[in-house]
Amino acid sequence: MTSNSRRTVYLDHAATTPMLPVAIEVMTQHLARTGNASSLHGSGRAARRTVEESRETIAAALNAQPSEVVFTSGGTEADNLALKGLWWARLKEDPRRRRILLSGVEHHAVLDPAIWLGQHEGAEIEWLPVDELGRVRPDDVREAIEKDPGSVSFVTLMMANNEVGTLQPVREVAALAREHGIPVHTDAVQAVGQVPVDFAELGVDAMTVSAHKLGGPFGIGALVVHKETQLVPIVHGGGQERDVRSGTLDSPATAGFAVAIEHTVKHQAAEAQRLTELRDALIAGVIGRVPGAKLSGDPVRRLPGNAHLSFKDCEGDSLLLLLDARGIEVSTGSACNAGVAEPSHVLLAMGYDDQRARGSLRFTLGHTSTRDDVDVVLDNIVPVVERAMSAGLQNVGRNN
C-alpha cells in the first residue's frame, strides 16, 4: 500500500473523539441562526430555548435535574470551578476546612488547581495512595477523613483514569464522605458514554463532563452541581448559569453537546460490548507478539475502549512517532516539560519505575474504531518495537 492510499488508524479517542454525524448536523443548523440567549427579543428567546432544551437533554442523560447542569467551556474549566468554588464556599462556612483529599492519578485539570490552592490559598493537599492498578481504596479515604473530619474541605476522585482506564470506587467514597457532610467532586470526562453514569445514584456533589470526549464539539462542557451544593463563582460578569458561571452561552455548541450525549448514552451498553471485544483482541494480540509487553491498570474494571501497554527497553515517544509514520495515531502517558519528556505522573503514582513509565503507550478506541484498526496495529507493532528498542540501545551506547 502506498503512503498516498494509506488510511489513518485513529486510536486516541481519550484525547478527543470524532464528532458524531448527528452532532455535526444539529450544530451546523444552529450556527446559521442569530441570537444571544440573554437577549429578550425573538432571536434571543429562540437561542435561550435551544440552551434550555439542551440542558434538559443532558440532565436526563445523566439522571440529574436541569437546574443542576452548569455549562462551561469544557472539562478544565468545570474542574477549576468545582475545586476553587468548593474550596472558597467551604472555607467561608468554616475557616478550619483546609484539607483537600485527592489521588496522585488525577488529570492535570484537577491536580493543578488543587496545587494552586495549596500554594496561594493555604490549602493542605493530602494525597490518597493508589494501588498498582491505579485505584484508590475506600479504607484509605475513610482513614484520611476520620483523622479530622471537621478540617476536610472536600474530596475529589475521578470516575475513570484517562491514562490507564481504571475505574474508581466513586460511589463508595461519596457514601463515606456523606457520613461527615463532606462534599465530593468527580471528574467523569472519560467515563460518560463508556460506562453507566448516574449523577443522582453516585451521590456526589459535583461532576465534570466534556462534550468532545463523547462525540460532541470542542469548547463546551458542564459541571453538574447538586442543587444544595454551594459554589463560589470564579468567572464574574453577566450572572449566567445560576450566577455560578458568567459568560455568553454558546447555543449551537449546547445543541451539539446535547445530541451527542443523548446518542452516546443511549447506545452505551452495546458500544461498550463492541469496544471491549476490540480492546481485548488488541491487548491479547500485542502481548502475544511482543515479549515483555504488559497491560497497565485493572484488567477487568477498566474503560471498555482503553488499552494501556508498557514495553521493555524502549521509549514511548519513539513508539508513538514510529507508529504515526505508519498512519497509526496513539498517545503516550509522558508529558513534555521544557522540551524534556517526563514519565507519566499516573504511572509513577502506581509504583512504576522510570523505564516502564517512559515505555508506555495508550491505545483508546471509540465509535469509529473497527477490527481492521486492531489488525493494522497488530501487523505493525513488532517491527515498530524492534526499531524503538534498537534506537534505545544505540542511545545507551552513545551515553556510555
3-state secondary structure of 67: helix
Tell me what pLDDT residue 390 has.
85
Q: Which fold has domain 21-266?
A: Aspartate Aminotransferase; domain 2 (3.40.640)
Q: Check if 21-266 and 268-399 are the same fold.
A: no
- Would you tell me which CATH number, out of the four given (1.10.3720.10, 2.60.120.330, 3.30.70.260, 3.90.1150.10), belongs to the domain 268-399? 3.90.1150.10
- Beta carbons within 8 Å of 92's beta carbon, 6+ residues apart: 232
Residue type, 197: V
3-state secondary structure of 276: helix
Tell me what pLDDT residue 343 has.
86
Residue type, 226: H
Rounded CA separation 320/332 (Å): 7
Catalytic, 336? Answer yes
Q: Is residue 47 classed exposed, middle or buried when 0-12, 13-18 and 19+ CB atoms within 10 A define those classes? A: buried
Pairing of strands 360-364, 152-156: unpaired
Based on its alpha-carbon atoms, the radius of gyration of the chain, rounded to whole angstroms, reads 22
Q: Is residue 262 classed exposed, middle or buried when 0-12, 13-18 and 19+ CB atoms within 10 A define those classes? A: middle
Rounded CA separation 340/370 (Å): 34
Tell me what pLDDT residue 400 has.
45
Instruction: Give the cell for residue 75.
Output: 472539562
3-state secondary structure of 221: strand
* Helix, strand, coil share of the chain (percent; to 5): 45, 15, 40
Rounded CA separation 34/32 (Å): 7
Tell me what pLDDT residue 336 has.
44
Reference 248, options 258, 230, 235, 231; nearest CA is 235
DSSP state of 352: -
- Do 211 and 254 contact (CB within 8 A), yes or no? no
Per-residue pLDDT of the chain (400 residues), as tens digits, is: 444 457 899 999 999 999 999 999 999 999 999 999 999 999 999 999 999 999 999 999 999 999 999 999 999 999 999 999 999 999 999 999 999 999 999 999 999 999 999 999 999 999 999 999 999 999 999 999 999 999 999 999 999 999 999 999 999 999 999 999 999 999 999 999 999 999 999 999 999 999 999 999 999 999 999 999 999 999 999 999 989 999 999 999 999 999 999 999 999 999 999 999 999 999 999 999 999 999 999 999 999 999 999 999 999 999 999 999 999 999 986 554 434 567 899 999 999 998 889 999 999 999 999 999 999 999 999 999 999 988 765 554 444 4
Residue pointed to by grid coordinates 491536580: 111
Of the listed 200, 269, 335, 336, which one is catalytic?
336
Parse the chain into domains and list their residue ranges.
21-266, 268-399
Tell me what pLDDT residue 196 has.
98
Rounded CA separation 281/278 (Å): 5
Tell me what pLDDT residue 392 has.
63
Rounded CA separation 282/294 (Å): 12
